């Protein structure tokens, strides 16, 4: 093969190589959602209430225990699951029960849920129970909002204040 | 089924390689250097990464701006370095993927070679994790997308859980602590990758970890050119309150991300773990056929402890131990789990010479199913069948050119597992047979020996640069070496014709010379 063909061939191969890398390193653009879509994220961590009553040990019960374990009031460690619903324009779009973390189910329940919705007016309601004895939902938030395209609405829960918040 | 795919892939590779041989020459042909190029790109990424790290602000509030400053305020240095960092990473993913496919097509995952294959699989995960981690640090909209999807994807695993994704849910929940962890991971994972790369080549003698200079310069120049033409830039700064709808993905590394969106996390885990698992167990899914060569065996009576086989074994299967019965002498020992039965050790053994006056020729080390004695008998049988007035013997390897195609009345062909199995003394011995005019040794192309070192060692032994030397008195022209890949059958035919002409001219000159005397 003549010299110029040798170099021209290499030039072509190198051009294809960098052409491939140059193009695919950031193109074609990946259209993830239609432009008119917004997003709701439900993200919260909360410890459900303790299940079961505390128990006061009697004198005889205490006497049977080693001295370092004689604590009069014993409370169960297990916490309740969280029951959480999200309604959009009156329709339930998410309804789930979340068990607490930990072997003894004594940790926090952690929730993360993402839902693409059409941008525009929405009427959303989020509600939660954190004890099985609750008949109604003690924590609720309802709002009418105008969501811009691509806007992310994050709904969180402030455990101290006991209320839903929007981030 | 696996072998059918393997063979089809191989013929595709052969075609490409042969075309590239025309353009780059065998020495610079990138298809023969895919592992070495992967190492080379890794080093480019490491050096450029160190530079970037000096200017990088590791806080989540300053990361984006620091990369912007680097790209725009010093485009002639930081900008190019950043682009090189990105493009060399992409190049590495490409060469690693092709390397995997090529090793697969060559069946280099079977038998004793399982180790490099198996240890290559985790490298894929480490490589992709390193690159995706890098894109995450830029903290632009691509990073925002990566953070959302990757945390959800890993959060899908029961032992990780939802709380991972919560770190990136809104601008308020972002924390420098988590971001520092990402910076740390982008250093730690490539370090693990490097360790993995060394483990990957641990069982290989003299692995090719750097490409030839011409190819190295060419690829670096090409990547620098690309960095100048199309500098790597960021998307807009991440803002968790606005989701990214259109993303400039790096498709080389993030090709599964759109699948995560459309299939969901479980199926993509199943797909990737499934592919990795299948790759990892491939050596056992498709093992060597039962009738393949067995590992080399040492014959202590004939082993003088010279250690040439130990130096030549391409897979470090040989160690030198105390001799069984010769006090103060060494003796070779073969680990059958590491031996690929190439026979390069037999070719290096000084006792494998057919000049020895023994009834049964037993070499100090040899492949039991392809002994030197067997080779001698087979060669003699073929010599007896030769006719004509210019008789040649061609030794070839099973993985190079198909030498059977050139057999005729005047040309005896003998196929070996590897050209390196042929002791130089054997070629010498055949070349001295009065009825033989010449010996040709042929095998895989010079840069691509199936057993890695057979071509190179043979070349050196026959050129008296490596023991055992070729010591023919019959003249160098009586032994000719020729290397060509399996796709280059025409070249072998042509080389044989040229050799015949060369021999004829030489013979004519000799008779003329003796006539004058
Ligand atoms: C970071 C990625 C990788 C790098 C840098 C790398 C590099 C290398 C190098 C330098 C060699 C030695 C070549 C020689 O001297 O003949 C090699 C051999 C090999 N690699 Fe890789 N490799 C990588 C990934 C992989 C992967 C993903 C696989 C397959 C799953 C793989 C399979 C093999 C095999 C089968 C061999 C041949 C061993 C033999 O000849 O028996 N490699 N690699």
> Tens digits of per-residue pLDDT, A81-123?
999 999 999 999 999 999 998 888 888 998 999 999 999 999 9
Q: Taking a C-beta distance cutoff of 8 angstroms, is the pair B179, B146 a contact?
A: no
Is residue B306 pLDDT above 90, yes or no?
A: yes
Q: What is the pLDDT of residue A88?
A: 94
Q: How far apart are CA A24 and CA B246, in angstroms?
A: 15
Q: How far apart are CA B46 and CA B11, in angstroms?
A: 35
Mean pLDDT of B427-442: 91
% chain B with pLDDT above 70: 97
> Tens digits of per-residue pLDDT, B146-190?
999 999 999 999 888 888 888 898 898 888 888 999 999 999 999
Cβ contacts (< 8 Å) between B21 and chain A: which residues? Answer: none
For residue B107, which of B97, B98, B117 has the smallest C-alpha distance?
B117
Q: How far is B437 from chain A (nearest CA, A)?
A: 32
Is residue B513 pLDDT above 80, yes or no?
A: no
* Residue found by looking up tokens 């490491």 in the block: B46
Mean pLDDT of B65-94: 97
Q: What is the pLDDT of residue B177?
A: 87
Q: What is the pLDDT of residue B434?
A: 87
> Tens digits of per-residue pLDDT, B97-133?
999 999 999 999 999 999 999 999 999 999 999 999 9
Q: How far apart are CA B476 and CA B502, in angstroms?
A: 12
More confident of the two residues B441 and B509: B441
Residues contacting B127, CB < 8 A, separation 6+: B92, B93, B96, B193
Q: Taking a C-beta distance cutoff of 8 angstroms, is the pair B206, B453 a contact?
A: yes
* Residue found by looking up tokens 């190198």 in the block: A14
Closest ligand 1 atom to Cα of B208: 15
> Tens digits of per-residue pLDDT, A138-151?
999 999 999 999 99
Cα angle: B164, vertex B167, B173; to 5 degrees:
155
Q: How far apart are CA B26 and CA B29, in angstroms?
A: 5
pTM of the model: 0.93
Residue B23 has its nearest CB partner, among A13, A26, A154, at: A13
Q: For residue A112, give the chain B residue with the closest CA.
A: B162
The dihedral built from the CA positions of residue B409, B413, B414 and B415, taken in this order, carries a sign that is negative
Q: Whose CA is nearest to atom 27 of ligand 1?
A: B120
Is residue B517 pLDDT above 60, yes or no?
A: no
Q: How far apart are CA B333 and CA B323, in angstroms?
A: 10
Judged by a CB distance cut-off of 8 A, whether residue A103 touches chain B is no
Residues contacting A127, CB < 8 A, separation 6+: A84, A85, A87, A137, A139, A140, A141
Q: What is the pLDDT of residue B47?
A: 98
Is residue B490 pLDDT above 90, yes or no?
A: no
Superfamily of domain B2-244+253-285: Cytochrome Bc1 Complex; Chain C (1.20.810.10)
Mutate to test the interface with A, among B226, B234, B256, B265 (most CBs of A within 10 A): B226
- Inspect the interface and report whether the beta carbons of B169 and A35 lie closer than 8 Å: no
- Inspect the interface and report whether the beta carbons of B242 and A112 lie closer than 8 Å: no
CA of residue B275 to ligand 1 center, whole Å: 18
Q: What is the pLDDT of residue B508?
A: 87
- Report whether residue B461 contacts ligand 1, using a CB cutoff of 6 Å: no
CA of residue A20 to ligand 1 center, whole Å: 23
User: What's the mean pLDDT when you consider all of chain A?
Assistant: 92
Point out the least confidently predicted range of B165-174, B390-399, B485-494. Answer: B485-494
Q: How far apart are CA A51 and CA A75, in angstroms?
A: 9
- Inspect the interface and report whether the beta carbons of A110 and B252 lie closer than 8 Å: no
Is residue A12 pLDDT above 70, yes or no?
A: yes
Q: Are strands B365-366 and B411-416 parallel, antiparallel or unpaired?
A: unpaired
Q: How far apart are CA B417 and CA B398, in angstroms?
A: 5
Q: What is the pLDDT of residue B354?
A: 85
- Report whether residue B201 contacts ligand 1, using a CB cutoff of 6 Å: yes
% chain A with pLDDT above 90: 73
Is residue B9 pLDDT above 80, yes or no?
A: yes
Closest ligand 1 atom to Cα of B38: 5
Q: For residue B249, give the chain A residue with the closest CA.
A: A26
- Report whether residue B93 contacts ligand 1, using a CB cutoff of 6 Å: no
Cβ contacts (< 8 Å) between B251 and chain A: which residues? Answer: 24-25, 27-28
Closest ligand 1 atom to Cα of B452: 16
What is the four-CA torsion angle of A22, A25, A27, A30, rounded to 10 degrees? 180
Mutate to test the interface with A, among B28, B150, B153, B170 (most CBs of A within 10 A): B170
φ, ψ (nearest 5 deg) of residue B266? -55, -55
- Inspect the interface and report whether the beta carbons of B218 and A111 lie closer than 8 Å: no
- Inspect the interface and report whether the beta carbons of A41 and B24 lie closer than 8 Å: no
Q: What is the pLDDT of residue B28?
A: 95
Structure tokens at B56: 């990088």
Q: Taking a C-beta distance cutoff of 8 angstroms, is the pair A40, A153 a contact?
A: yes
CATH number of A37-50+79-166: 2.60.40
- Report whether residue B200 contacts ligand 1, using a CB cutoff of 6 Å: yes
User: What is the per-residue DSSP string for B119-143?
Assistant: HHHHHHHHHHHHHHHHHHHT-BHHH
For residue A153, which of A130, A124, A128, A111 has the smallest C-alpha distance?
A124
Q: Taking a C-beta distance cutoff of 8 angstroms, is the pair B383, B412 a contact?
A: yes
Q: How far apart are CA B352 and CA B476, in angstroms?
A: 21
% chain B with pLDDT above 90: 78
User: What is the per-residue DSSP string for B265-333?
Assistant: HHHHHHHHHHHHHHHHHHHHHS---TTSPPPPEE-GGG-----HHHHH-TT--EEEEE-SSSTT-EEEE
3-state secondary structure of B441: strand
Mean pLDDT of B274-283: 98
Point out the least confidently predicted range of A133-137, B149-153, B314-318. Answer: A133-137
Q: What is the pLDDT of residue B475?
A: 63
- Report whether residue B108 contacts ligand 1, using a CB cutoff of 6 Å: yes
Q: Given pLDDT bands bounded at 50, 70 and 90, which one contains residue B204?
A: very high
Mean pLDDT of B385-401: 89
User: What is the per-residue DSSP string for chain A?
Assistant: --HHHHHHHHHHHHHHHHHHHHHHTT-S-EE-S-TTEEEEEEEEEEPPPBPS--EEPPHHHHHHS-GGG--SEE----BPPEEEEEEETTEEEEEEEEPPSSTTS-S-EEEEEEEEEESEEEEEEEEEE-STT-SS-SEEEEEEEEEPTTBEEEEEEETTTTEEEE-
Is residue B489 pLDDT above 80, yes or no?
A: no
Cβ contacts (< 8 Å) between A37 and chain B: which residues? Answer: 243, 245
Q: Whose CA is nearest to atom 11 of ligand 1?
A: B35
Q: Given pLDDT bands bounded at 50, 70 and 90, which one contains residue B278?
A: very high
> Tens digits of per-residue pLDDT, A40-53?
999 999 999 988 88
- Inspect the interface and report whether the beta carbons of A10 and B163 lie closer than 8 Å: no
Q: What is the pLDDT of residue B381?
A: 93
Is residue B141 pLDDT above 70, yes or no?
A: yes
Q: Taking a C-beta distance cutoff of 8 angstroms, is the pair B189, B196 a contact?
A: no
Q: What is the pLDDT of residue A1?
A: 53
Closest ligand 1 atom to Cα of B109: 35
Cβ contacts (< 8 Å) between A30 and chain B: which residues? Answer: 246-249, 257-258
Mean pLDDT of B197-210: 96
Where exactly are the structural domains of chain A?
1-30, 37-50+79-166
Is residue B318 pLDDT above 80, yes or no?
A: yes
- Inspect the interface and report whether the beta carbons of B155 and A112 lie closer than 8 Å: yes
Point out the least confidently predicted range of A95-104, B42-51, B475-484. Answer: B475-484
Is residue B56 pLDDT above 90, yes or no?
A: yes
- Report whether residue B100 contacts ligand 1, using a CB cutoff of 6 Å: yes
Q: Given pLDDT bands bounded at 50, 70 and 90, which one contains residue B516?
A: low
Is residue B515 pLDDT above 70, yes or no?
A: no
CA of residue B119 to ligand 1 center, whole Å: 9
Where exactly are the structural domains of chain B?
2-244+253-285, 292-516
Structure tokens at B10: 């191989």
Q: How far apart are CA B141 and CA A85, in angstroms?
A: 30
Cβ contacts (< 8 Å) between A22 and chain B: which residues? Answer: 87, 226, 229-230
Q: What is the pLDDT of residue B372?
A: 92
Q: Given pLDDT bands bounded at 50, 70 and 90, which one contains residue B80?
A: very high
Q: Taking a C-beta distance cutoff of 8 angstroms, is the pair A8, A16 a contact?
A: no
- Out of B106, B115, B116, give the residue to mutate to test ligand 1, the one with the largest number of ligand atoms within 8 Å of its CB: B116
User: What's the mean pLDDT when you consider all of chain B?
Assistant: 93
């Amino acid at each position: 093969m003549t010299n110029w063909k040798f170099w021209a061939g290499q030039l072509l191969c190198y051009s294809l190589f960098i052409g491939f890398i140059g193009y695919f390193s950031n193109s074609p653009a990946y259209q993830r959602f239609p432009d008119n879509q917004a997003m709701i994220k439900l993200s919260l961590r909360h410890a459900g209430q303790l299940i079961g009553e505390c128990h006061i040990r009697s004198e005889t019960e205490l006497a049977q225990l080693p001295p370092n374990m004689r604590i009069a009031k014993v409370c169960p460690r297990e916490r309740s699951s969280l029951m959480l619903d999200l309604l959009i324009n009156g329709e339930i779009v998410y309804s789930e029960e979340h068990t607490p973390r930990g072997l003894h189910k004594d940790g926090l329940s952690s929730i993360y849920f993402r839902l693409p919705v059409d941008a525009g007016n929405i009427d959303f309601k989020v509600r939660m129970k954190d004890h099985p004895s609750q008949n109604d939902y003690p924590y609720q938030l309802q709002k009418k909002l105008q969501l811009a395209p691509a806007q992310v609405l994050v709904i969180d829960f402030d455990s101290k204040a006991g209320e839903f918040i929007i981030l | 089924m696996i072998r059918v795919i393997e063979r089809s892939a191989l013929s595709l590779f052969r075609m490409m390689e042969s075309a590239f041989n025309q353009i780059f020459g065998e020495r610079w042909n990138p298809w023969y250097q895919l592992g070495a190029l992967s190492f080379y790109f890794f080093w480019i990424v490491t050096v450029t990464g160190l530079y970037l790290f000096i200017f990088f602000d590791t806080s989540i509030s300053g990361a984006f701006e620091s990369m912007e400053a680097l790209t725009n305020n010093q485009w002639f240095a930081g900008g190019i370095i950043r682009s090189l960092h990105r493009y060399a990473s992409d190049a590495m993913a490409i060469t690693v993927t092709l390397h995997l496919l090529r090793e697969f097509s060559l069946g280099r995952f079977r038998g004793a070679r399982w180790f490099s294959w198996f240890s290559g699989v985790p490298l894929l995960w480490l490589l992709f994790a390193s690159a995706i981690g890098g894109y995450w640090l830029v903290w632009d909209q691509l990073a925002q997308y990566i953070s959302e999807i990757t945390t959800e994807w890993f959060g899908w695993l029961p032992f990780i859980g939802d709380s991972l994704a919560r770190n990136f849910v809104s601008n308020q929940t972002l924390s420098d602590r988590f971001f520092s962890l990402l910076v740390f991971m982008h250093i730690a994972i490539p370090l693990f990758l490097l360790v993995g790369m060394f483990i990957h080549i641990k069982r290989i003698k003299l692995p090719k970890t750097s490409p030839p200079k011409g190819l190295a310069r060419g690829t670096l120049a090409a990547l620098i050119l690309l960095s100048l033409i199309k500098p790597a830039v960021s998307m807009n700064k991440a803002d968790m309150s606005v989701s990214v709808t259109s993303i400039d993905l790096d498709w080389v590394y993030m090709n599964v991300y759109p699948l995560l969106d459309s299939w969901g996390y479980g199926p993509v885990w199943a797909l990737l773990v499934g592919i990795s698992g299948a790759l990892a167990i491939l050596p056992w899914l498709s093992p060597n056929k039962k009738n393949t060569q067995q590992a080399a065996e040492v014959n202590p009576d004939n082993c003088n402890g010279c250690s040439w086989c130990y130096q030549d074994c391409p897979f470090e299967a040989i160690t030198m131990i105390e001799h069984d019965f010769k006090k103060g002498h060494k003796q070779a020992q073969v680990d059958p789990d590491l031996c690929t039965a190439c026979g390069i050790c037999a070719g290096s053994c000084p006792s494998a010479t057919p000049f020895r006056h023994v009834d049964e020729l037993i070499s100090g080390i040899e492949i039991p199913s392809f002994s030197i004695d067997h080779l001698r008998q087979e060669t003699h049988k073929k010599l007896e069948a030769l006719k004509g007035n210019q008789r040649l013997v061609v030794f070839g390897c099973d993985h190079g050119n198909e030498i059977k195609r050139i057999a005729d009345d005047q040309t005896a062909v003998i196929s070996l597992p590897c050209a390196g199995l042929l002791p130089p003394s054997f070629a010498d011995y055949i070349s001295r047979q009065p009825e033989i005019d010449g010996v040709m040794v042929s095998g895989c192309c010079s840069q691509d020996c199936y057993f890695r070192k057979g071509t190179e060692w043979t070349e050196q032994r026959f050129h008296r640069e490596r023991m055992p030397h070729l010591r023919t008195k019959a003249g160098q022209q009586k032994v000719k070496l020729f290397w060509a890949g399996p796709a280059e059958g025409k070249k072998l035919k042509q080389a044989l014709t040229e050799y015949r002409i060369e021999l004829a001219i030489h013979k004519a000159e000799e008779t003329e010379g003796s006539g004058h005397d």
